[in-house]
Amino acid sequence: MRILPSLVSLLLASSAALAQGDPATAPSMPGAGGLEMPAMPMTEPLSKNWTAEETSPEAAAKGSAALTKLVSGYTTPAAIEDKVEIIMSVPGGDQKQELGIAFGPDGTARLTAPGVTVTRIGDDLFFEPGEVKGKYLKITRKGSLEDAISEAFGSAALPLPEIQLRGGKAAEAPAALGSMFVAEPKVVGFRAGANGGSDVVLLKGEGGGEIEASIHPTNGRLVIVKYLAVPPGAPEGFSIPITLNVTSTSFDKDLPSPIAFDPAGRKAVSSMDKLQVSLDTGSAAPTFKLKDTDGTEVDLEALKGSVVVIDFWATWCGPCMKGLPKVDEFAKWAKEGGKAVKVFGVNTMEQEEGDERVKKIGEFWKKKGFAFATLIDADNKVSGAYGVQGIPFTVVIDPAGNVADVHMGLSPSLVEDLKKATEAALAAKKG
């Protein structure tokens, strides 16, 4: 499960591409194409402007003591609300994104990120989508807030040191500051704030990554965290400057808007796919008439009585290139089994238009030799009607013309998932 801000997802995918040479499997957005690591200018180490005295063993000890106070700054108040601006410096200009994390009494917490709000109450995590209203997903995860959110968001940490700092373990403070940007950081320096300014702790991690953490002189919490991030497998000299600007407010008893979740008037869904899309299982699938690469028109209404599987894709979409062979495997299974199943690709979100696009897609499809046809969503109206925001996006439509299942992104179990949904839809028809 991955609901990560796009800026953070970009860094993760770039890191994975460097380390493994493998594109991300999450849904791709229009124009994303194959992820390529941008050419980055040389960036001077953060430690270059630190003196020998500021990086002495005595200074490092003071830095460790400052991190102990930092943990206290996040554990002492009954409630805290941090607003975090993330700035990633890349060629062409800075990329910015805002996140928020709030902690209430009794272990409650609320995380806000573009496209999602996550509320923690007891052992329950409630996910609310930003754009698709009226739905929520409940997941129960025991353990600390850090463990629960990390498990729910996948193996990658979130770029919010506060989550781990609120846990109250001073020994884990360096790792908390490292977050997803710098691995295995160790305190190597300390600079005392002048004239009431912030104290600054310098940390260095594996692979050359560095951190400067500025701590507020009064409330003892973060003000600015500067990173020099070096993704695993990056070429020599490659690094990404990242800055977290933090606005932190504490409260003696509780937040002005206490953390709570009311499911009234909302529909509970069973998976993240169903949370993030506007299609509801059981609702009527939007009808369409589209032509395939040979010019033959396919009318969804005329296919009632069969299960219809449609897979939205584009030539620039890396995950789609991995997903189409899986759809092809499923289509061959259905055909060989004599099942009443129709499978179609739906090409969408391409840059080319008109005859140029038809020719391009036709040549691509012929070269691949897939066992199913692809339709062309020339004006993207069908993808819009289905609420497609990222691809691949696969929909199973039952014989009555209703949505039976939805899959967003590339799942390793896609073939088996499609078989299961299809068999269920066919069995329901017989019943």
**Where along the chain do its domains lie?**
6-251, 277-430
pLDDT bucket at 230, cuts 50 / 70 / 90: confident
Q: Token pair of 256, please?
A: 């002005």
**Interatomic CA distance for residues 55 and 74, integer angstroms:** 26
Q: What does the pLDDT read at residue 16?
A: 41
**C-alpha closest to that of 244 among 196, 218, 212, 217:** 212
User: Looking at residue 408, what is its pLDDT?
Assistant: 83
Confidence of residue 267 (pLDDT cuts 50, 70, 90): confident
User: Would you state the torsion angle of the CA atoms of residues 105, 107, 108, 109, taken in this order, to the nearest 10 degrees?
Assistant: 110
Residue-level pLDDT at 240:
85
d(CA 412, CA 160): 29
pLDDT-derived band of residue 114, with 50, 70 and 90 as boundaries?
confident
**pTM for this predicted structure:** 0.70
| Fold of the CATH domain 277-430 | Glutaredoxin (3.40.30)
What's the pLDDT score for residue 71? 97
pLDDT for position 15: 45
For residue range 320-346, what is the model confidence (pLDDT) as tens digits?
999 999 999 999 999 999 999 999 999
Q: What are phi and psi of 174, to 5 degrees?
A: -60, -45
Q: Is the per-residue pLDDT at 101 higher than 60? A: yes
Instruction: Give the C-alpha separation, 249 to 270, whole Å.
Output: 35
d(CA 175, CA 165): 10
Cα→Cα distances 211→18, 41, 359, Å? 22, 19, 51
The predicted model gives 100-123 an average pLDDT of 91
User: What is the rounded average pLDDT of the residues 220-247?
Assistant: 88
pLDDT category of residue 128 using cuts at 50, 70 and 90: confident
Q: What is the mean pLDDT of residues 137-165?
A: 78
Q: What is the pLDDT of residues 28-56, one digit of tens each?
A: 544 433 334 445 556 789 999 999 999 99
Largest CA distance in the chain: 80
- Measured between alpha carbons, how far is 84 from 244 in angstroms, rounded to an integer? 6
Cβ neighbours, 10 Å, residue 170:
17
Among 378, 61, 330, 335, smallest CA distance to 189 is for 61
Q: Dihedral through CA 319, CA 322, CA 324, CA 330, nearest 10?
A: -120
